[in-house]
Structure 1
Amino acid sequence: MKYSIIGFGNIGKALATAFTRKGIEVSVATTRDPESFASDAAAIGPGIVPKTLAEAVKADIIFLAVRFESHQDVAKALPTWQGKTIVDVTNAYGVPLEKLDGLPSSAFVAKSFVGANVVKGFNHLIAATLSADPAVSGGHRVVFLSSDEEDAVAPVADLAKRLGFAPVELGKFDEGGALVHAHDDIWGRLIFQDLYKKEQ
């Protein structure tokens, strides 16, 4: 299984930090030349591999960590996303609901990534919290996962556990997933909630 992070701003770097903490290799890419952010990647760890967008989208699980407005540009990198899982880490705060066709933002994102399994996840924490060690006080920091595809969440949940997080499944985008979606000036009720799950 190969992993990549598209977007290397604060959230992308926080995700890369989580990967390097566990010694899991991950590719990172932006729309820029990899050499332009190679030093930032090296500063995080040796397993953070700068690649072109065209190379990074060959991964099996791809974290979409760009600005929400940029997701359609990323989607153009492949004619079909069949067999791939997109973890939507974007937030559509400030985007009017009518521009989302009345859909939860991840359902709107899924329309661009034709054929992919889209999972909302890792989006409710600020970068500083996301990059911190998720093992705290005898428990693990929670990440919420949601998808309209029944079998899509399991591999992302497994990866979240490998990264040291405690995945909590919320169901479909318009059900429990609504708690981690944003639009207009509305944040989902679980966004910014830093919660822990105690080890059993």
Structure 2
Amino acid sequence: MSYAIIGFGNIGQSLAKAFARKGIEVFVATTRDPESFACAAAAIGPTVIPKKLAEAVKADIVFLAVRFESHQDVAKALSNWQGKTIVDVTNAYGVPPAELVGQPSSKFIAQAFSGAKLVKGFNHLVAAVLDQDPAVHGGRRVVFLASDDDGAAAEIGALAENLGFAPITLGGLSEGGLLVQARGNEWGRLIFKDLVKFD
């Protein structure tokens, strides 16, 4: 299984650190040349590999950690996303619901990534929290996941566990998924909730 993070701002780098802590190789890419962020990637660890966007999107699981407005630029990097799983880490705060044709933002994004399975996840924590080791006082930091594909949700849930998090699946994108999606100028009720699960 191969992994990529598209977007290397604060959230993208926090995700890369989660992979690096566990020694799991992950490609990182932006629309810029990889040399421009190679030093930042190297500072995180040797398993964080800078790539051109066209190379990174070949990964099996792709974390979309760009600004919501940029998701279509990423989607154009492949004509068909069949067989891939997209983890939507974007937040569409401030985007008028009319622009999304009344849909949750993740359903809107899913349409751009033709053929892919989509999981909403890892987006409810601010970068400064996501940046930290998810092992907290003997528990594990919670990440919420939502998807219309149960298999994809289970796949990303297993990855979240491997990264040290405690995944909680909320159901479909139009139901539980709304708890972790912004609508217009309102945040979903679970966004910014930093919870820890004790087994």
The TM-score normalised by the length of structure 1 is: 0.99
Counting only pairs closer than 5 Å after superposition, residues 155-194 of structure 1 correspond to structure 2 as 155-194=155-194
The answer on 1:26 being equivalent to 2:37 is no
1:120 matched to 2:100: no
> Gaps (5+ residues) in structure 2?
none
CA distance in 2, matches of 1:196, 1:150: 23
Q: Deviations over 1:74-116 (max 9, x none)?
A: 0000001000000000000000001011000000000000000
* Structure 2 counterpart of 1:82: 82
**Cα distance between partner residues in 2 of 1:23 and 1:140:** 18
Query: What are the within-5 Å matches in structure 2 for residues 6-21 of structure 1?
Result: 6-21=6-21
Work out the CA distance in 2 between the residues paired with 1:22 and 1:162.
8
Q: Tell me the SS of whatever aligns to 2:18.
A: helix
C-alpha distance in 1 between matches for 2:93 and 2:121: 15
**One-letter code aligned to 1:124:** H
Q: Superposed, which structure 2 residues align to 1:30-49 within 5 Å?
A: 30-49=30-49
* 2:42 alignment partner AA: A
Q: Distance in 2 between matches of 1:82 and 1:108?
A: 17
**2:124 matches 1:143:** no
Aligned length: 199
What's 2:70 paired with? 70
Tell me the TM-score normalised to structure 2 length. Answer: 0.99
- Superposed CA RMSD in Å reads 0.5
Aligned-residue offset at 1:150: 2.5
